[in-house]
Amino acid sequence: MMPRAAIVICTGLLASCGMAWAAERTPFQVRCEDTIAKTVSVLSSKQNGYTINNQLPYRAITAKAGNMDNRMATLGLTVTRGQYSASLGGPILQDPASGYECIAPQVDVKLNYSPVLIYVGSEFAPGTCSYKAILEHEQRHLQAYMENLARVEKVVREALNKRFEGKPLYAPSGTAMSALEHEVNGTWFPFIRDEFEKGKAKQDAIDTPEEYARLGKTCDGEIADILLKRRKNN
């Protein structure tokens, strides 16, 4: 198992472009391309619910969210992060005459989000209208994370299939597996990380000034009243 991503098409160590072999296939190429299969697997694990923390006051949640500087109160917060790992393998054939080997990559990638934790300010008691309104808002963030996970899975699968389900990869004897690991660590894991990061745009789109204004007026102004009383007591 390894953790981190890659997209090299042809390099000096590991190539899928025939590595400067003649257009007419050699007997070694025939053996590699016609007898060993390629496999790419990309799976994402769906999250099962979430955990709610109702112990922290909204000021602590605001600090945790990093919003203290802009004076914006954070009443709820959904915390998780993208995770990914890969298992690599595949049959290798040797060609003593050329000093090269070929590998048919078997790439098994797993994607998921870490266990989801939703914070709701302790000022808002479970069962109250304000608590439910804040939780519903945070559940929108949770849904956006899950939609992004499905998108990342699709993008990564298509990119890996395009890269690895062509011809076998060739490298100097004894280096094919290490070159494959280098590619996955050096290019594919950053690629996956960046795809997860693209989900932030949807998260930001949920936390609009209009949404905050709506929450302030919901429940007959209950949320705004609670915040006002807490500020006066501090």
pLDDT digits (tens, 9 = 90+) for 115-157: 999 999 999 999 999 999 999 999 999 999 999 999 999 999 9
Contacts 24+ apart (CB under 8 A), 28-36: 28/93, 28/95, 28/97, 28/98, 28/100, 28/102, 29/102, 31/93, 32/93, 32/102, 32/104, 32/167, 32/168, 32/170, 33/167, 33/168, 35/93, 36/90, 36/91, 36/93, 36/102, 36/104, 36/168
64 pLDDT exceeds 70?
yes
Mean pLDDT of the residues in the chain: 85
The more confident residue out of 42 and 86 is: 86
Q: How far, in Å, CA of 26 to CA of 192, rounded?
A: 36
Q: What is the pTM of this model?
A: 0.81
Kindly indicate the confidence band of residue 76, based on its pLDDT and cuts at 50, 70 and 90: very high
Mean pLDDT on 99-122: 93
Alpha-carbon distances, residue 189 vs 61, 82, 104, 114, 185 (angstroms): 31, 12, 20, 17, 6
95 pLDDT exceeds 80?
yes
Q: What is the pLDDT of residues 159-201, one digit of tens each?
A: 998 888 777 889 999 999 999 999 999 999 999 999 999 999 9
